[in-house]
């Protein structure tokens, strides 16, 4: 008789643990994307053209990650704004 409630409790506990693991993973992914964004913006200030180009490529990659249904995705206006502002500055100097 006690097996039914025990099994129900085990299922509930497993579901809660799975949800916690999913949330932890999403937070980790969000932090990783933030680090990638910061590094890419930092590369735009390099004196070396290949490093700056790598920064633009990284921002393009991050912009591709943006999805409407992805809660951990980086903020699209931030990504496109950073690369757009940088491109305008480079083009206006040339």
Q: Give tens-digit pLDDT for 8-45.
A: 888 878 888 888 888 888 777 777 888 888 898 898 88
Distance CA 44, CA 38 (A): 10
Nearest to 40 by CA among 70, 1, 83: 83
Distance CA 25, CA 27 (A): 5
Tokens of 52: 């700056």
What global pTM score does this model have?
A: 0.49
Distance CA 9, CA 92 (A): 65
Query: Which of 30-34, 44-48, 78-82, 84-88: highest mean pLDDT?
Result: 44-48
Distance CA 27, CA 67 (A): 16
CB-neighbour burial class of residue 10 (10 A; exposed 0-12, middle 13-18, buried 19+): exposed
């Amino acid at each position: 008789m006690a097996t039914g409630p025990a099994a129900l409790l085990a299922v509930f506990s497993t579901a809660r643990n799975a949800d916690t693991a999913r949330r932890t993973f999403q937070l980790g992914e969000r932090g990783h994307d933030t680090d990638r964004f910061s590094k890419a913006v930092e590369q735009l200030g390099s004196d070396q053209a290949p490093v700056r180009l790598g920064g633009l490529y990284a921002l393009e990659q991050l912009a591709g990650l943006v999805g409407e249904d992805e809660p951990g995705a980086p903020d699209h206006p931030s990504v496109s704004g950073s690369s757009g502002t940088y491109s305008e500055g480079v083009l206006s100097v040339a």
